[in-house]
Amino acid sequence: MHIDLVEWLRLLCGIWFLPHLIGKGLHYEKASGTFENAGFRPAKLFVGFTMVMEAVAAIGLVFSIYPRMAAAVGAVVMLGAAYAVVKINGPNWRWQKMGPEYPIFWALICLLLAIV
């Protein structure tokens, strides 16, 4: 069975949402505090909404159910995460300074998946 690069990226992007989703579920109060610090209010509502969006992105990408739509949803989530990182930690780029490069990279890959 041959899987091309786009399919690998789709699977990886989808699978990578699972730890984020599980982490938010296991640490809901802490996640709410982070969302509050980033200015997303009401924080608990935003955490729940983000979890739903991450689940939609993960399921859609992993099982190829409306994968373009799922990738677009994933991109929105990751762009929101990048915004939150900058809002909380300032405009640092490097990961050592808690920069947004990781969620921006992930969002760009999701955007590419949404248009291919």
Rg (CA), the chain: 14
Spell out a b/e string for 8-47, using b for 16 or more CB atoms within 10 Å of the CB, else e.
Answer: ebbeebbebbeebbeebeeeeeebbebbeebebeebeebb
The per-residue pLDDT for 2 is 63
The per-residue pLDDT for 8 is 94
The pTM assigned to this predicted structure is 0.90
* pLDDT mean by block of 10 residues, the chain; 116 residues: 84 95 95 95 96 98 97 98 93 77 95 94
The per-residue pLDDT for 93 is 78
**In which domain, by residue range, is 19 found?**
5-115
Number of domains in the chain: 1
55 SS3 class: helix
DSSP category for residue 89: H
